[in-house]
Amino acid sequence: MTDFAATKAMFDLPEGMIYLDGNSLGPLPKATKDRVAAMIEDEWGQMLITGWNKAGWMQQPSAIGDRIGRLIGAEKGHVMMGDTLSIKVYQAVASALEMNPDRRVVLSDNGNFPSDLYIVQGLLKSLGADYELRVVNPEDVAENITDEIAVLMLTEVDYRSGRMHDMKALTELAHARGVVTVWDLAHSAGALPVDLVGCRADFAVGCTYKYLNSGPGGPAFIYVAPRHIDKARPALSGWLGHEAPFAFDLDYRPGTGIERMRVGTPPMIQLAALDASMDIWDQVDMQALRARSIALCDRFIAGVEASCPELALASPRDGNARGSQVSFAFEEGYAAMQAVIEHGVIGDFRAPDIMRFGFTPLYIDEADVDGAVEIIADVMNNRLWDRPEYKIRSAVT
């Protein structure tokens, strides 16, 4: 079993704060400061450009990709780091569309993160007017997987409510209809066990600055199933995805395996931060993490519902049907969240009325849950949120 008291001690958590927003930005592992400093001073500072060879920079995207691969149930050698999640979504959907050339429809749902939809809208406009992004309610996805769908693009865990799609069932249904699947694991990787191999997922993407603690702007990852990797054409045919980047050929030839999904120069400072975080994750059993996550979320739901009747649960009550977050709906949710934050509990707000709290067992325990419930109850029951300054919207909510 994972020692969660030990993992909590590995994070630099501000005193007097209960941090329930690791589903948006993970906190700083203590080892990250030294690891990044060493990369800057000893590698970049002393090795300069020779660090690509001497410090193994060029191998880091695939090496760290394999460590994340363990958390998401991927085969070794089929996860590549680099770039942003938006770029990885573009890569995956573009490649998936080319694998279904006689179809023109991408199916998604209105619980998907809007950025994913924006990326696909832009891609399809470039491809032509006969392409369509079809967006349905989450509960209606299965019945809309028809023979005209080229690609099914879904985020496994809804960023607002935490509701989970059944990846295995939907992927099986998609494959039966000849549909290629792209799964966004932004709210899954590090939050719950994922079994890409067992689900026979085609493509998957995800970010690392949430549960995986790589820091703001941390690199994203892409997964391509082995059965597709040698025929998936990279739509973004970048230099480092070339078969021989240092041959400097003028014509692009895709690299072998997952190497073809490289695009630009990997962000080595951020990868150093992620490397330090993965030293913690290498010690984590994902089944143990999942069990503890459900227990913490259940405890939080029970406490808030018992003390805050104005808040309506917006997440699935069944822990097996939600990710590692709990959301409550409240008409004045933005102001209430600002008051909760000022009183020492960090969550966030998602329009139109969602107060969202993330539960990350690596550094959240029962005492944190109980302390958070007490503060939220004080804010709600004493209407501490009903002040003008809490109703002024900041750029980031």
Catalytic residue list? 113, 184, 209-210, 356
Main-chain dihedrals φ then ψ at residue 204, nearest 5 degrees: -150, 150
Asked if residue 36 lies in contact with residue 272, where contact means CB atoms within 8 angstroms, the answer is yes
CA separation for the pair 87, 255 (Å, rounded): 18
Main-chain dihedrals φ then ψ at residue 19, nearest 5 degrees: -100, 105
The residue assigned the tokens 């760290």 is 64
**78 is written with which tokens?**
């089929």
Distances (CA, A) of 288 to 183, 285, 294, 362, 367: 24, 5, 10, 11, 19
Main-chain dihedrals φ then ψ at residue 53, nearest 5 degrees: -100, -50
Residues 6+ away with beta carbon under 8 Å from 147? 177, 178
The residue assigned the tokens 């600002």 is 338
**93 is written with which tokens?**
């959907």
CA separation for the pair 380, 384 (Å, rounded): 7
